[in-house]
Amino acid sequence: MTKPTCVYFIGSGPGDPELITLKGKRLLEEADVVVYAGSLVKEKTLKHCRRGIEIHNSASMTLDEIMKVIVNAAKRGEKVVRLHSGDPTIYSALKEQTGILEEESIPYKIVPGISSALASAAALKEELTMPEISQTVIFTRIEGKTPVPKSERLSELSKHQATMCIFLSIRLIEKVVAELKEGYPEDTPAAVVYKATWDDEKIIRGSLKDIVRKVKEAKIKRQAMIIVGKTLSSDITHHASRLYARNFEHGYRNKKG
Ligand code: SAH
Q: Tell me, yes or no, if the pTM score tops 0.85.
A: yes
Going from the Cα of 191 to the center of ligand 1, the distance in angstroms, rounded, reads 15
Atom of ligand 1 nearest to the CA of 141: 15
**Can you give the pLDDT at residue 243?**
66
Residue 166 near residue 90, CB atoms below 8 Å: no
**Can you give the pLDDT at residue 50?**
95
**Can you give the pLDDT at residue 257?**
59
Q: Which of 43, 169, 223, 228 to mutate to test the pocket of ligand 1 (most atoms within 8 A of CB)?
A: 223
Going from the Cα of 167 to the center of ligand 1, the distance in angstroms, rounded, reads 6
Residue type, 250: H
**Can you give the pLDDT at residue 44?**
85
User: Fold for domain 116-232?
Assistant: 3.30.950
Sequence ranges of the chain with CATH classification 3.30.950.10: 116-232
The CA distance from 226 to 205, in Å, is 10
Q: Which residues of the chain, if any, have pLDDT below 50?
A: none
Q: Which CATH number among 3.40.50.9100, 3.20.20.210, 3.40.1010.10, 3.40.50.150 corresponds to the domain 7-111?
A: 3.40.1010.10
Residue 163 near residue 191, CB atoms below 8 Å: no
